[in-house]
Amino acid sequence: MAIVTVREALRQAMDEEMDRDENVILLGEEVAQYNGAYKVSQGLLDKYGPKRVIDTPISEEGFTGIGIGAALVGLRPIIEWMTLNFSIQAMDQVFSNAAKMRYMSGGQFSCPAVFRGPNGPAEYLSSQHSQALQAMYAHMPGLKMMAPSTAYDAKGMLKTAIRDDNPVIYLESELMYALKGEIPSEEYLIPFGEAAVRRQGKDVTIVSYSKPMRTVEAAAKHLENMGVDAEVIDLRSIRPLDEQAVYRSVQKTNCCVIVDEAWPFASVGSHVAWLVSKNCFDWLDAPVELVSGEDVPMPYNHKLELAAQPSVEKIIAAVKNVMYME
């Protein structure tokens, strides 16, 4: 097992898939000569050349559309959005073309494209660059979505996404790129629709995904010191969603807290909370709690920025509510 950063795990996934299949290409802003805004594509231009690692103009709608067109005629593009905040410019391309083409063509066309980049708040980026936009893409039929929280998952899930014949939204996080974790030397894939139980427990189920998993795991350690045995579920795959993994845990613990850094209204977290409330009603000892980002634009001030996001304290408070603790 090698210890690598999330950044390196993603680079390895792209490198291996580009080496395996000459139809895999990478395009986006600064992915080539600059080696990527976050250095995820380090060295790929030197290895594969400018026909397969392509710097694009600052025009998300344009290069996203080009990538979708390339996918429709047989290539397998990895389209890097420097941040999902910028992908708002390209939503019409993704929603109207990538997501619907297979359905509208009666299965004659597929769109094997991966749209990847950092999502959600980082630090000192204010309201226009700190948005968690997963719910917008998860809302659209025809798109798949993955959101890794570890280096191991980052590599295995990206390889799976690149090989899939459907368009995939692949959510990363700016604050996760430098995180380190173990990955094996042999090839491995992580399938869609398979959540991971990060911590076994019997008292309460805490469900999350992507960057907030770090906060959830820290909260679980604090809860352990309080005598609360929390089971932690990492969704990993948002579309399709591993509902049964969540239900099995809730049937065991009878309490559930969902953690999502997005805004609470019509979020992935609120949808999962509804699913648990509907399908685990007979097992729940208390209403499901949702710990989300605050329903406000992200402040620039760092203390306010932290206050607007899920925290260990907020998660512990939610656990106390569902367990009727003082």
Q: Which residues are catalytic?
A: 60, 129
In the three-class reduction of DSSP (H, G, I as helix; E, B as strand; rest coil), residue 212 is classed as: helix
Residue listed under structure tokens 């802003």: 29
DSSP letter at 116 equals: E
Q: Determine how β-strand 144-146 pairs with β-strand 237-239.
A: antiparallel
What are the residue ranges of helices labelled H in 93-242?
Answer: 101-104, 134-138, 151-163, 212-225
Query: How much of the chain is in helix, strand and coil states, percent to nearest 5?
Result: 40, 20, 45
Distance CA 133, CA 271 (A): 14
Backbone φ/ψ region at 118: left (φ over 0), alpha (ψ -120 to 50), beta: beta
**At a CB cut-off of 8 Å and minimum separation 6, what does 60 contact?**
81, 86, 87, 88, 89, 90
Q: Which residues contact 190 (CB under 8 A, 6 or more apart)?
A: 153, 156, 157, 160, 236
Nearest alpha-carbon partner for 86 in 44, 45, 30: 30
Gap between the Cα atoms of 199 and 25, Å rounded: 37
DSSP letters, 297-317, are PPPSSHHHHHHTS--HHHHHH
The pair of structure tokens assigned to 102 is 């297979």
